[in-house]
Chains A and B, each alone.
Chain A
Amino acid sequence: MGVLAASRLSFAYGSDPVLDDVTVEVAHRDVVGILGPNGSGKTTLLKLLAGSLTPASGCVTLDGRALDKIPRRELARRVAVVPQETHLAFDYTVLEIALMGRYPWLGAFEIEGPSDLAAAADALDATGTAPFARRAFPTLSGGEKQRVIIASALAQLDDRAAPDPHQRDTHRVLLLDEPTASLDLRYQLEIGALVGRLRRDRDVTIVLSSHDLRLVGSVCSSLILLSHGRVLATGPTRELLTPEIIGELYEVRADLAAPLLP
């Protein structure tokens, strides 16, 4: 039984169908990559898995519970999302952004305590962003911003403050939407290394969408291939990352896809 499972999901923006009858399952501590051409529904699938969107039909379950039955804050303690890009209108510091991840752990008027600060500091350490904890977020480069948002998501999933031991050891999920899009080679490598470290060091299940075949090849253990809103194939990365299948997915000739594979 997977940690996160979507069964027969369909979704449409207005009258344009985006996802049609999508069934996928994500196993505990797996790193799953969602691959597919532009407009194939990757971001929409991630939003449905996060509970940000409500499916037109079908349902998403986390440990067997339907997402819309899980209270907002409880869901946020277990599922964190890193969007493709984050723009801020105001100059929050990096540490403040990381602390925003603690929102679902705090009461309405509660101020962040030592455990929240420790969770944020750990998350900044894990992403290599602690050296600029006091910098204003809008002054960072694209790769630095992406890592800070990942730190905020890690702080969000940190369950050290859980009042009740039952809430610990529950499965936690990190969803990343094209984490290396618009980043240069060095930052692509950094994000890839970071995902690899998270998989190794943290008890977290990761789902990421990407066009970056090398990233997917190096960090993902299994893949979901989306094409025109439908699942083309799911399975272990080594079986699916072949020139023939990738060529079919992106509707290009296999010999053109081959050099792009890791």
Chain B
Amino acid sequence: MTDALRPETHPSQPRPHGPSPPHLLRAPLTRGLPIVALSFVALVASVGLAPFVGSTSLSFTRVFATHVPFGDNVDAQIFLLARLPRAVAAALVGASLASAGVVFQSLLQNPLATPYTLGISAGASLGAMLAITFGAAFPLAGVAAASLVGAFLAVLVVYALARARQHGLSTTVLLLSGVTLNAFFSALILFVQYLSDFTSTYRALRWLMGDLDVAGYAPILAALPFLIVAFAAFIWLARPLNLLSLGADAAGTRGLDVHRTQRVAFFSASIATGAAVSIGGPIGFIGIIVPHLVRLMVGADHRLVLPVSAFLGGAFLVTCDTVGRTVFAPLELPVGIITALVGGPFFLWMLLKRR
């Protein structure tokens, strides 16, 4: 090839000479750190402020008045025993679903995946339906436990199917078995509904709407160990998920243990989803709206997308729940209805604007 043909001498392709431009010498990651900090502040602020909003207005000074004994301080009781656990539950559920959405989208290499794509919520719902219908003696915690068991059974079935044909996880088989499982569990749910009486059908329907009306801290504490494990895994996953975006083969040639990354991503995101659904029911759309808005803000690097999605997902769900509790007060609208009303149109808009 002659020198005259060398493209770098082409006039339309000026090649920079000398040292690299200074913007290249700054890590792209550091530019997103202020957004991480701001989104964390938003989460803390929403959890702190939401309990003051509601049908009974609370006085800040009375809630924190130390001279009144707690037994006589109605404001403090409403704050600590009714509204704060609800705000904390919303924050945890929102954070879990949003970050699980990020992980599933990355694992499946599909921006339209959600935490529920692989049938986890359908498994959880089936478990909850069975507990509501046939376990009349079950206390509320029994429904949560049953939904957790249902979610994990669904996870194991999907995993076994995706592993059956090849050594690694096949994302195609994951998607197909997830969609099939979703449909199959939905049929079973309808069947259980058919067998159940009026009261339990009503309870089941309310559960399916997604509601954060947790009675105290017990459901949160029960889900917490699962969430801690999942979030620890998410921290480890952030950079491996970046590599995985190049495709499994290319990630492997850069030194990534692809199979281990896929396994950790699948199980941690599934555990987070199962635990979140056991607290609040299958609240929709958080896992897709939040990650997409976050990517518009911070780009694609999972070391930014994961924490910002977790913080803003929490803040978003706390806000939605506060809206749901107040717009028709004293009626409380289940938060799942709010997120679906916001999320449906958003999802369609995203589908249309996709390249």
Contact = CB atoms under 8 A, between A and B. Distances in A.
Interface of A: 47, 50-52, 72-73, 75-77, 79-81, 83, 86-93, 95-97, 99-101, 103-104, 106, 108-109, 111-112, 114, 117-118, 120-122, 124-125, 128, 130-131, 133-134, 138, 156, 186, 189-190, 192-193, 196, 218-219
A121 B20 contact: yes
A248 B202 CA distance: 76
B29 A92 contact: no
Contact of B255 (A89, A103, A218): A103
A80 B252 CA distance: 10
Of B8, B245, B256, most A-chain CB atoms within 10 Å: B245
Contacts of B15: 125, 128
Contacts of A81: 249-250, 253
A93 B16 CA distance: 19
A218 B2 CA distance: 10
B5 interface: yes
Contacts of B106: 90
Contacts of B8: 128, 193
Contacts of B111: 89-90
Contacts of B105: 89
Interface of B: 1, 5-8, 10, 13-16, 20-21, 23-29, 105-106, 109-111, 235-236, 239, 242-243, 245-247, 249-250, 252-257, 295, 299-301, 355
Contact of B242 (A80, A83, A92, A114): A92
8 contacts: A72-B252, A93-B299, A95-B24, A100-B246, A117-B24, A125-B16, A138-B355, A189-B6
Nearest to B30: A111
B56 to A, nearest CB: 45
Nearest to B253: A81
Closest 9 CB pairs of A and B: A76-B255, A104-B255, A121-B20, A190-B7, A90-B300, A73-B255, A81-B253, A121-B24, A92-B300
Contacts, number: 131
Contact of B16 (A83, A87, A130, A138): A130
Given A104-B254, A117-B25, A130 B300 contact: no
A79 B247 contact: no
A99 B299 CA distance: 15
A256 B216 CA distance: 82
A52 B253 contact: yes
A109 to B, nearest CB: 8
Contacts of A79: 253
Contacts of A122: 20
Contact of B21 (A92, A128, A130, A190): A130
B301 A92 contact: yes
A190 B1 CA distance: 11
